[in-house]
Amino acid sequence: MDSFAGNFLNWSVTRDYMPELMAGMWLTLKLAVVVNICGLIAGTVLALVRSLRVGILSFLVVLFADVTRALPPLMLMVVGYFGLPFFGLKLNGFAVASIVLAAVLASFTEELLWAGLAAIAKGQYEAARSTGLTFVQMMRYVILPQAFRMILAPLTSRIIATTKNTALASVVAVPELLSQANAAQGYSGNGSPLTFASIGYLVILLPMVIVARRFERMGKPA
């Protein structure tokens, strides 16, 4: 037990690398916020575009969602970071990671929300339109709240998975939390920085899980 504590719970080692670890945690949180907000908004817009049932638009949305979900995010990051400069477009690692992870989340959000929209009874649409609501008003006030309530649990799981995937950004030179912890572990020969990284991910993710559970309970009938 003493050996384990010395290798994974050594505060003096963690303290030496605390500035780098805190910087990595802040960057992870920043990346997660950007990715999740952009991905949710983009996915919602794509689902609404698909709900218009315009042939070519629906086809393009489905194609985007299927291709993006099928390809590994790590491969997309590597291609974006190292491949785009050959076409005269060079993006920094943070931008590449943000775009890739937001696109992946958008594709999953679109599919989940589309399923939620399809599950709502047609009478809800007809009742909303009969009151004189426009398409946008109908979606905003009547349909989307119900659809999001239906998909809250799987959508939360996807958001959490996307947040954990921010660790992949290290391959495109983004010094996020896990990258900094790995570097500190390599320099110190001690696993305590990785323990701190685990705690950092708990601090970021656990509140999301708790809030999601509360919203899920609020959406259930008494």
What would the pLDDT profile of 115-126 be if each residue is shown by its tens digit? 998 888 888 888
pTM to 2 decimals?
Answer: 0.87
Residue 1 falls inside a structural domain: no
DSSP string, 22-55: HHHHHHHHHHHHHHHHHHHHHHHHHHHHHHTT-H
Residue 40 falls inside a structural domain: yes
What's the whole-number mean pLDDT along residues 35-41? 96
Domain count, the chain: 1
Per-residue confidence band for 2, with pLDDT thresholds at 50, 70 and 90: low
CATH of the domain at 63: 1.10.3720.10
Residue 2 falls inside a structural domain: no
Residue 147 falls inside a structural domain: yes
Residue 153 falls inside a structural domain: yes
How many helices (H) and strands (E) in the chain? Answer: 11, 0
Indicate whether 67 pLDDT > 90.
yes
Residue among 180, 173, 174 nearest 200 (CA): 180
Indicate whether 215 pLDDT > 80.
no
Indicate whether 204 pLDDT > 50.
yes
Residue 4 falls inside a structural domain: no
**Residue span of the structural domain in which 123 resides:** 14-219
End-to-end Cα spacing for the chain? 48
Q: Which two tokens stand for residue 77?
A: 């990051």
Indicate whether 168 pLDDT > 50.
yes
Residue 47 falls inside a structural domain: yes
Residue among 188, 197, 192, 185 nearest 6 (CA): 192
Q: Report CA-CA distances (Å) from 82 to 90, 95, 150, 171.
A: 8, 13, 40, 11
Residue 151 falls inside a structural domain: yes
Quickly count: other Cβ atoms within 10 Å of residue 132's Cβ: 8
Taken as a whole, the chain contains a residue count of: 222
More confident residue, 17 or 106: 106
Burial class (CB in 10 A: 0-12, 13-18, 19+), 13: buried
